[in-house]
Structure 1
Amino acid sequence: MRGALLIGLLVANCGGQVRDEGSASGGSGGGGGHATGSGAAAGSGGTVASGATTGSGATGGTAGAGASGGSTADAGGTPSCSEVAKAIAKKAQIVGSCTIIVRFTQTTLTLLGHQWVCGTYAPPDELAARATAQQDTGFGSGVLLSGPAPADAWVFLVEPLDFGGAAVVSARTGLTVFGGGIVWAGKGDIKWPKTWLHDPLGEDCAPVSLPKVRSFDLGTGGLPLPAGEIDKALKRVRATALPSGLAQIGGYDIVLLRYRPSVGAQDPSSDEYVVLFNSGWME
């Protein structure tokens, strides 16, 4: 019963032009470089009407149980990892692609929220990606950090001489998946997605292998993150049910951002890891 309710809640959030629930708060992304993860990935297939911060009609069934840190819900009613993984697979199994954006604090790795951006396959070129990023975030004119033909995402960074920011556009759907301000003397705000979800993603789930990861440190002009930082962030997301849920429907890749809303008087407690899971049914 609990698993059915959870799946219903997740799927409701992704149905045609329905706004996702949540509340917006600080942060942004961009940056360039490579890091590593383990395991292989490929993802694709399924459908959804594109929508900026709204998801789009998920269809299709769900696959096996996925990794779990407990096979049943605990006494307080928290869904098990296998239940969450099954719900994630259900929601992501569309004829198209979904990006799941997950935010953690850098210092304590506290989960701040997540959001889904789903759409049909509509790969943009650089000009189209810039136009979309500019319209949604105001940062489409920035330096291209991702390279001229990314398979995962287009990443743009406007250096914060006073005010700057970053934007990320899916290379699969052409939809903006992240954007936010970076301020020299002050603090920027996340501009995209506009809302955030706080339903469970699973905790202490059995670890699974991850695909290769590209990382971008938005506070250093988009340089790759150090290996230790990458491992720290990936260990945190590996403990959720997202990897096992997405693996049930096909492959996926990961883009890891360190978002620094302030780069002048730096306050590490305001820095975030933003992890973009880019999936595609049977890709």
Structure 2
Amino acid sequence: MSGMKTCVVLMSVLAVGWALTEKELQDSNYLKCNLESKVSEGEPILPNTEWIDIKDECVNLARKQIRMEFEAALAYLQLGSYFSQYDINRPGFAKFFLGAASEERSHAIKIFDYLLMRGQLTAYHSDPQLHTLIMGTSVNKSSELTKLSVALKKKEVNGGLEALNLALGFEVAVTRSIKKMIKACENDEVLSEKEKVLLSDNDGSIASNDYHMVDWLITDLLDEQLKGQRELAGRIATLYKMKDGYGQIADFLYDKKLLEELNSKAA
């Protein structure tokens, strides 16, 4: 009899526990349902877009900058592949340029992520697809990429010194493009009349400087660019001086030193 009572009590406790669990589950489902948008017919489901206050000119230049970073990455990839060939065999230069290609790709992705954070490249945009960023007309008007491809195919790149000078030219072009973007994002002259109305405060003054984007471009991208230019200029100067003393063997010696340096950084 004692065992029977214990069993009944246990079943009662389990039943109460199950009931509570069911109630909690219903409450949970109720809350989930309440998170759904309750809109009248004809009203938009998406949130308002007043928080998307980045200027059109900034967006357009940022999209071009993404293409430019990818183009620079392709140029470095070509140089890295060139020095990796068995009949060229300069592993130090190869590793340096392949690493530079990865860095340029990371810059493109940084800009892409920034535009997403500011409400661009989304359903609000007329064409949010990534392919429009990289399938447009080449940003590089002088077609350096095409010239480089032809020169590498014919093996007409005159060693590491010329390759480093080419790289510095790419970096200067990218830096100028970033500076142009900075100027556009802080300059109210590029605002359309509609943007001026949206960005005007109660006093009628124009709050057109995109402080966050300008700060991000200067402290993040531009800082890396300027340091990269200085590094390349130093490498060019060192190799140039080595050629004075060692002649043709200078490339071989510098390549070994470069490989040791890059391996020690990776360790």
TM-score by length of 2: 0.20
| Larger strand percent | 1
Greater share of helix: 2
The answer to which structure, 1 or 2, has the higher relative contact order (CA under 8 A, 6+ apart) is 1
Report the TM-score when normalising by structure 1.
Answer: 0.20
